[in-house]
Structure 1
């Protein structure tokens, strides 16, 4: 078993200015997303210019930050926010919801798609493969912050936290929702699947990986287990995502719908 290194969440201290690892992970996430989007745009017949990609990342970043923070408050910390409304602005302390960020990005893509005169799924199919590596950086930020640990375990790769060996659920999510999902979507999108298919694969893939990891991840202490005494909030929010992914893939490959 591995002792948790108890990493200082502050990467660089410049007088009163503290640059945190969590914030740096987001910068890396947006940087990698921009680089991958530029690569996709450079492919023959992509229909995207470099300038459009730059704006796309800007819109997407706003959606992630605003939606992720609002989702964290509404889904997981609403009572705490009522007691301390300013916590909404303290993004550097952690507390970002994937499901809120996803909704934020969807709204951002709809807005930017209208500006470009492109359909919603044209936008999301282009964006979906560049998202997972950003999720991986976010989970690494959770690991550095020492948050979102898994259940006690005796597996040899467990991390000992406060004397208890636990599943590194943040690293599981980084590997599955991040690296594995990225590889699947990147190569799948290269096959030029029908519209909605890449978006559906993202929803289904993320939903499946998140649902599985939640079995070894501790639920938020102030929420605990919900439905049936074993489902977590993350799983309840993810079930509709899995259903959406299945529906989108079915629609994408149904011959009568390919012209939509």
Structure 2
């Protein structure tokens, strides 16, 4: 049985300013995503150039932060917001929703695409392989904060989280999600997008893989206390929100390769 290290959530202080690990993990995700984006921007089929990557990052960061926070409020914790509206602004305390962030990023990519006169899916296919870097960094932030722990388990690597309401060993589900949503998803998308693919194919694969990984991870992750299980003693909000992603991703890939075959014939 392992025990969570109980990291200090504050990485360092600069006078009255406290820099939290959670914020730093997001910063790392954005910086590495920007660097990888500049590499992709050098490809002859890239819809943007290296100089435009900085603007694209700004739009995406705005979508992630605003969409992620608003999504968490709407999908997971609306009652807390009603009781304490300023809680919405305390992002450093944790509480970001991937699905809300995804909606924010979709809007940001649409906005940016209009600005640079590019089709929405040209931008989406370009951005999709960069997203797992931020997802993985965020899951490390969750682990450092000791939040979003897993369900009780008797496996040898079960971990006790002092922040949990008991001292039961639990799955370190944040690390499971880091491995799936961060590492495996990045490898698959980076490899798949290393060659030109039909428009919408990369975006479709992202939706399918993330949705499947998240559905699997939810079987090990403790559901949010304020929501619990939504049905049958095992369905969670994360699974409910991820299933449409898988369906939408499959539809995009079918359309993408169907259009490609039509052009070839």
Aligned residues: 259
Distance 2:261 2:231 in 1: 36
Question: What's the counterpart of residue 121 of structure 1?
Answer: 121
Query: In the alignment, which residue of structure 1 is the partner of 2:154?
Result: 154
Supply the distance in 2 between the matched residues of 1:51 and 1:73 (Cα, whole angstroms): 35
Matched, 1:202 2:206: yes
Q: Give 1:10's aligned residue.
A: 10
In the alignment, the residues of structure 2 paired with residue 117 and residue 257 of structure 1 have an alpha-carbon distance, to the nearest angstrom, of 26
Residue segments in structure 2 that go unaligned for 5+ positions in a row: none
Alpha-carbon distance between aligned partners in 2 of 1:205 and 1:241, rounded to the nearest angstrom: 9
Q: Find the aligned partners of 2:58 and 2:47 in 1 and give their Cα distance.
A: 19
Q: Is the 8 A contact 1:194 1:258 kept in 2?
A: no
Q: Deviations over 1:67-99 (max 9, x none)?
A: 000001000111110111111111111100000
Measured after TM superposition, the shift of residue 46 of structure 1 is 2.1
- Asked whether the 8 Å contact 1:252–1:258 carries over to 2, the reply is no
Structure 1 position 44, deviation (Å): 3.0
How far 1:28 sits from its partner (Å)?
0.3
Q: RMSD between aligned alpha carbons? A: 1.3
**SS of the residue aligned with 1:227?**
coil
Q: Does 1:183 align with 2:187?
A: yes
Matches within 5 A, 1:50-65: 50-65=50-65
Deviation at 1:252, TM superposition (A): 0.7
* Cα distance, 1:256 vs structure 2: 6.6
- Could you tell me whether the CA contact under 8 Å between 1:251 and 1:257 is conserved in 2? no
Equivalent position SS for 1:6: coil
Q: Partner of 2:111: helix, strand, or coil?
A: helix
* Structure 1 unaligned residues grouped into runs of 5+: none
Question: Which residue pairs with 2:68 in the alignment?
Answer: 68
Give 1:14 shift.
2.6
SS in 1 for 2:18: strand
Do the aligned residues in 1 keep the contact of 2:152 with 2:169 (CA within 8 Å)?
yes
